[in-house]
Structure 1
């Protein structure tokens, strides 16, 4: 596996921001593809409800595809979630799981 389990669990609790600097949420868990030995998604909670109102109820989270991740450091940067929610592509319409 490319990442050790310690590195993967270190993602939990990190804040997620869009590439525009907007707070999106906090990583609660990761989704793994054990056959390919890679991270495939991030489960977020503590969401920015201004972004997700009408998409997520109170106390719910979302799952975003890991391919949206641009960089991982003290925080995780992802492609802008605002544009994805307001005008999803045909291929991306089921990407965000609420």
Structure 2
């Protein structure tokens, strides 16, 4: 289980996929019974077009692999079409 002392410590942290791609920054957390249920991530401008113009996504906490200086999330948790993954890789090169 990932433990966090203060939620304010993680807001604004950079989010990367487990494939090493920059995705965005943490904007807020959704709590249920004093436990983090999900994270709202503001996406990078280059990824907005791949997500149909969405400015952010909600990622369930179970898809967060690590929290430290950065967040690492499972790439499979992201609502990205298969054909859009090629575009995402081109943007990072």
Q: TM-score, normalised by structure 1?
A: 0.67
Report the counterpart of residue 92 of structure 1 in structure 2. none
Flag structure 2 segments of 5+ consecutive residues without an equivalent.
83-93
The structure where helix makes up a greater share of residues is: 2
- In structure 1, runs of 5+ residues without a counterpart are 88-98
Alignment of 1:1-98 (within 5 A): 7-34=6-33, 37-45=34-42, 47-57=43-53, 60-81=55-76, 85-86=80-81
The normalised TM-score by structure 2 is 0.70
Give the ranges of 4+ consecutive aligned residues of structure 1 lying more than 4 Å apart after TM superposition. Answer: 81-84
Structure (1/2) with the larger strand percentage:
2
CA RMSD in angstroms, aligned pairs only: 2.6
Report how far residue 18 of structure 1 moved.
0.2
| Count of aligned positions | 81
* Deviations, residues 10-42 of structure 1 (Å, cap 9, x unaligned): 1101000001110011001101112xx210111
